Amino acid sequence: MFRRLLIANRGEIACRVIRTARNTGMRTIAVYSDADADALHVDMADEAYRLGPALAADSYLSIDRVLAVARESGAEAIHPGYGFLSENAAFAEACAAAGVVFVGPPPSAIRAMGSKIEAKTVAQDAGVPVVPGYNGQSQGRGDLKAAADEIGYPVMIKASAGGGGRGMRMVREASLFDDALDSASREAKAAFGDGRVLIEKFIARPRHVEVQVFGDSHGNIVHLFERDCSVQRRHQKIVEEAPAPGLSDALRKAMCKAAIDVARRVDYVGAGTVEFIVDRDAVTEDGGFYFLEMNTRLQVEHPVTEMATMAADLVEWQLLVAAGEPLPLPQKGIRQYQHAIEVRLYAEDHRRDFLPSTGRLDHLSFPEQGLLRIDTGVREGDTVTRHYDPMIAKIIASGRTRSQAIASLQRSLMKTEVVGPATNLPFLIAVLGHPSFQDGDVDTTFVHLHRAELMAASELTGPDALILAGVYEALAGREVAVRGPDPYSPWRRRDGWRGFGRAPVLHRFQDGDADATVSVTWDEDGLVVGLPDNTYRVSGEVMEDGAVRATLGRRTLKGRVIERGLERHVLIDGRARALVLRDPDAPSAQGDAGGGKLTAPLPAAVVQVHVEPGVRVARGTPLMVLEAMKMEHVIISPRDGVVTAVHFAVGQQVDEGAELVVLDTSDGGAA
């Protein structure tokens, strides 16, 4: 086994590898960009070396810089993690030339499976069914469009290199093909350095099922069964589980055999994942699945396989295989013992089409792990930047049955607390609680089909947040009833004391776009909390950590209030509501702040500008295209009007909230 291991990655990925490497007695070496100088993975490692600026191309993706650190640190092996250089054949070859072991498959396998076009050919040669489509060498617009016309719409345009939903577009009709092709190719080029695409027939109700495979240099290849990754947004996974619900034993066996056949075809060594599409409308007892792609690396969702099989630390297996050892277990020694489910907690705003969110993690708290597993690369006080993937943590739970695993994960998410950037935490809770998910009725259209219900279930609505905020203000002792020059005046007491009795103390909050006033009156039985639509008699208490308990009759309401200046973040069962304490005598802040200006929804780079001042546009017209975290975001006109100003050009960076375009809709008011 190796003595010194360099981890050529960051965040949760690097932390995951460091934990296993340290457990096996290795000295760990981290690398970091300027944006990650104070990151958790840097602190966890035994040594750490600067790579370069925040831009990934100048740091984590720089082969020369990574190998320079390997030479300086005396690393014997490099683990690339998943993402960045993990599927880069040139990097694997450069490691070998430098006398450093690359912890991953041979370059030949990476090249064969790194292109979706070539990978489909490998699968076909192995006798594995593939989705009908075009994977020819020509990238001419005419050839690609002719292929799409022959396949029949709708079709999927997919990046040949990479994955994660980047460079992927669904096209419903021929007239939309050219724009979709340009966008997919441009995004693929930005994300993977390769703008080539392939065309596939669009399958209306697909399940995304993948099989974990592992090979060694002694000719052994095994599978560790399958995972279902069908619950996705923006073609990217957010929930994964093993085993996949609802598969027949015959279908599971056929898919696992197909995965082994594909891996053998390229003499695979190391960890890999063979991904399939299962057509729900055409599935049979042992068929109806198609090869999608092979990821020649460890996957983000590998913990569900580890927990379901209870057989392996897959990172340890990678290190053993890279050191020339045989696989620790034969196929007959690998079984699925329990059910495991993983969710990806992202800094993103699910209410704004899952746009990435940035900012400081002012408060971050996870429940005790126990049977729960939490893989994270951040701590409270860290900042989620626009430079890298916005994942905060992977949270994984297991159970003897699927229902037990779901219930365990739900409880854990309800005890997870995040204050700072927007997160998808309440959305994940809503997914787990949806009847269709609990019944195992999932495919890749799940979020789209149930979006309205999921959005509604993820909101913290009703009076509870305001009640807890009122109790917090009354009992935490941070506010006074009346301001004045005399600090000892009895009228300053927070219980509303007056010579004639107790007056209500008013607490006014900005609640989103609205104002909400909560009155709290003290009496001998506790508090009377008055909201605009009702009054509640409450007995309550506030703990030092902001935990609030309020009893309303036979009902006890529990939550936490995190105070940041005038902000009051109310957290209840994994859902959050942000309130801002305001002066009760100040004028209302409500009003239209948007005017005719279109603003950036997130920090990004401008990659396309479609309009100029003086151009008349119709509602829905694309005005500008932004790129952030390797994903494109199209800014469209919300109404008919005339463009009067464009404030940014291609290549410029924009901050969240920056005014991009001004639109005059004089016939119908501001946009």
Dig out the tokens for 32 from the structure.
């970091």
Tell me what percent of the chain is helix, strand and coil, each rounded to the nearest 5.
30, 35, 40
Question: Helix, strand or coil for residue 246?
Answer: coil
Question: Catalytic pick from 297, 344, 577, 582?
Answer: 297
How far apart (Å, rounded) are the C-alpha atoms in residues 631 and 343? 21
Secondary structure E strands in 334-415: 339-346, 348-349, 355-356, 359-360, 363-365, 373-376, 383-384, 391-399
Structure tokens at 454: 């999921």
Strands (E), 54-127: 77-79, 101-102
Residue 49 corresponds to which tokens in the numbers above? 């070396």
CA neighbor of 397 nearest in space, from 474, 339, 480: 339
Sequence-distant (≥ 6) Cβ neighbours of residue 662 within 8 angstroms: 596, 597, 598, 643, 644, 645, 647
DSSP 53-66: SSSGGGTTT-HHHH
Both tokens of residue 240?
Answer: 């994964």
Q: Quick one: which of 224, 364, 236 has its CA closest to 300?
A: 236
Rounded to 10 degrees, the C-alpha dihedral 477/481/483/488 comes to -70
Q: Is 471 helix (H, G, I), strand (E, B) or coil?
A: helix
Cβ 226 vs Cβ 213: under 8 Å = no
What is the distance between the alpha carbons of residues 358 and 423, in angstroms, rounded to a whole number? 10
Distance (Å, rounded) from C-alpha 393 to C-alpha 388? 14
**Cα 110 to Cα 114, 268, 581, distances in angstroms:** 5, 9, 55
Compute the distance between CA of residue 486 and CA of residue 476 in angstroms, rounded to an integer. Answer: 21
Task: Give me the residue label for tokens 């959005």.
Answer: 455
The helix/strand/coil state of 90 is helix
Q: φ and ψ at 541, to 5 degrees?
A: -150, 150
Q: Give the angle subtended at the CA of 143 by the CAs of 138 and 149, to the nearest 5°.
A: 140
Task: Write the DSSP assignment of 541-576 as a string of letters.
Answer: EE-TTSEEEEEETTEEEEEEEEEETTEEEEEETTEE
CB count within 10 Å of CB 235 equals 18
As a dihedral over the C-alpha atoms of residue 548, residue 554, residue 555, residue 556, rounded to 10 degrees, the angle is: 20
Q: What secondary structure letter does DSSP report for 620?
A: T
Taking CA atoms, 154 is separated from 84, 129, 181, 276, 633, in Å, by: 32, 20, 14, 19, 22
CB 285 within 8 A of CB 248: yes
Is residue 201 a contact partner of residue 232, using CB atoms and an 8 Å limit? no
- Which token pair is 284? 């049979």
575 catalytically annotated: no
Pairing of strands 270-279, 348-349: unpaired
Tell me the Cα Rg of the chain: 27
CA distance 90 to 432: 41
Cα 380 → chain centroid: 18
Residues noted as catalytic: 297
